[in-house]
Amino acid sequence: MARPVLKWAGGKRQLLPRLYERFPETYDRYHEPFFGGGALFFDCEPVAGSINDTNDRLVNFYRQVRDRPEELIDRLRSFDDPESDTDPDRRFAETDRKGSEITVYYYQQRALFNDRPYGDDYDELEEAALLCYLNRTCYNGLYRENSDGGFNVPIGRYSDPDWVREAEIRAASDLLEIVEICNTDFAYVLDAAQQGDLVYFDPPYEPMSQTASFTEYSAAGFGRDDQTRLLSVATELDAMDVHVILSNSGVMYDRYDDAGFFVEREGATRAINSDAANRDEVDEIIATNVPPDQNA
């Protein structure tokens, strides 16, 4: 069984049993327009379909996993411990672009990773390796960018971080070979999906209380207008006889219920939170057009 290679905020590993309960008895191809860490995709191992994400560096990573797994593993093996000294043979061994001092290996790699958003040349394989390395060694596995698009998460504290992910990369590479990897708007799925396919939507959202109104809902880069558009796409897929499953904030319950979807509330624990003590259950929904008597 394949497993996610990366940590990713909002990952659905803990929600997998609840998602499988909504699966149709059979389906053809599988599509995931908000891929992120791909917990459901790697677990269910579909035989065909598509995945998509708007983060172009994340999409590049999965394309390198698919196309150049052994080269990627070799490059990951070449990295040092994040708290070791910088590599004097590479750029940013002493200072970053702004002239701030760099004395730790992790921050040198972070500066190298930010070649693309800051306008310098970059190598696709190198960027993919750096993304995996930083993801497995940064603070709490977060992915966060500043307003200029630069990755700015500080170093984490791990006794024995695993950034090579050899087995995970090889298994993921085999699985990614059978799907199309896209880097576009989620509405692409209207052209990609056909009758009998299954689409799983996991859009960006901040879990809200059950009493929060839709007008209060907003998430960075994916706000109310996007949520309205997503509901429209889900409704159109339903009319095409495409199976739809969607996880979202609890505040979206009424909108999907009013649109005729089967909706239930679920408790889900935040996989990533700056305070481990606050990784409590939050209010989420799972909505689907699959009737309960047709579940797998």
Alpha helices of the chain — where are they, by DSSP H?
16-20, 39-44, 56-67, 69-77, 105-113, 124-137, 166-176, 189-192, 224-239, 253-258
Whole-model pTM: value is: 0.91
Domains of the chain: 13-54+184-294 (3.40.50.150), 62-165 (1.10.1020.10)
Query: Is 146 in contact with 187 (CB distance < 8 Å)?
Result: no
Burial class of 157 by CB neighbour count within 10 A (0 to 12, 13 to 18, 19+): exposed
DSSP 80: P
Alpha helices of 45-182 — where are they, by DSSP H?
56-67, 69-77, 105-113, 124-137, 166-176
DSSP 22: T
Per-residue pLDDT of the chain (296 residues; tens, 9 = 90+): 799 999 998 778 889 999 999 999 999 999 999 999 999 999 999 999 999 999 999 999 999 999 999 999 999 999 999 999 999 999 999 999 889 999 999 999 999 999 877 766 779 999 999 999 999 999 999 999 988 889 999 999 999 999 999 999 999 999 999 999 999 999 999 999 999 999 999 998 755 555 555 555 545 578 889 999 999 999 999 999 999 999 999 999 999 999 999 999 997 655 544 454 444 455 899 999 999 999 98
CA-based Rg of the chain, rounded to a whole angstrom? 20
